[in-house]
Every structure is written in C-alpha cells, then in structure tokens.
Structure 1
Amino acid sequence: MDFTQKKCVSCETGGDPLPDSEVQNNLASIPNWELDGKMIHREFEFQDFKDAMVFVNKVADLAESEGHHPDITIHWNKVRLDLWTHSMNGLSENDFIVASKIDKI
C-alpha cells in the first residue's frame, strides 16, 4: 500500500489500535522501520549535527501538515523517530502514513 498518497485523519478521540496482522502487513511498506512494542521507530544517521537538524526541521514541517507527530530524539548526528498513536495506545494508519512520508524526505 502506498501510504504517501494518503492524509492523516484526526484520532484525538481514541479508538482501537490496528490489529497485529494489519501492523505486520503495513510494516512491509516501510522496510527500514522496526516494530517496538506498541510503536514503530527508525534511526537516521547524518554527516553532522547541522544535517541532523535540517532533517528534524523537515520532519517537524511534515508532522505539522499531517497533524500527527513523532517523538524525536537527537544525538549529534543521529535522529531516532518513534511513532504511535497516543490516544489509541498503539498504532494507527496515521503512523504508517507519516513514516512513509518521512522516508521520502
């Protein structure tokens, strides 16, 4: 499934997280991301801190436009992104949409 063609929908009211079978199916479309309990994550490595921050700012712009935000951890030239839908305490389609679009940055 091409999640880059989709737009996040509001999920502030909660709902049920995706079933494990759907999560596994969706992971196939974002091969560099890993499942970690109730979230997906990916680490990116850059030349230096400045390049890492340029990337983080692009991710921030994307997250704002989608209304769905990753947790971001920065260690000099490395950036880790964690995605999950807090209101559902698990994964939603929004997480896969944002992950797919981040991969295009």
Structure 2
Amino acid sequence: MRKIIMLVCAAGMSTSLMVSKMQKAAEAKGIDAEIFAISASEADSYLEEKKVDVLLLGPQVRFMKDKFEEKVVPLGIALDVIKMTDYGMMNGEKVLEHAMSLMND
C-alpha cells in the first residue's frame, strides 16, 4: 500500500533535496511512497484535499508543531519534527525510517 509523506518547511526549497534523498532511500528499500514538500502556508489547503499518512515538519518550522497537531491528529495523520542532525546531513534514509516508524505505531 502506497504511503504518502508530506514534508512541510518554511518555503519548500531546501526540503526538496530531502524529498529526492528520501525517494532514493524508499526505492532502495522497495517502499511504495509518495513523498513531497510544500511550504507551511500551503499545507492547510493541501491537507483538506489529499489523504496524507504522515506529516514531517522541517526543523525551521518546529514552532508550528502545536498548530499542525490540532489539525492532523483528528484526521489520523502522524506528525513529528525532522531531527536537526538528519536534516542538516540531508539523511533521507534516516528521515524515511522515522516517517515509516510513525505510521506503524
């Protein structure tokens, strides 16, 4: 079953590199995942239109976690903040593993 992982960051730019690293890791592990990044300002309208399995916040928007929690928890969407070290190292494999572990809880 395809997993849909949404990354949210300030502008959607630096996170696009993370998306490609995560997609490579998913392919290598045989995981069927749709991974994409959008800006925090676009996230609300996107969540209304699309079913998402997990939402990961970039470290630069970690302060928005409570705001997103109110929206996504009732929808059954897992939420967390990407670890600063994994984001800084652009470790797509670690971030993908984290996303998958949130969905398996």
TM over 0.5: no
Identify the TM-score tier after normalising by the shorter chain. 0.3 to 0.5
**Higher relative contact order by CA 8 Å / sep ≥ 6: 1 or 2?**
1
Q: If the length of structure 2 is used for normalisation, what is the TM-score? A: 0.32
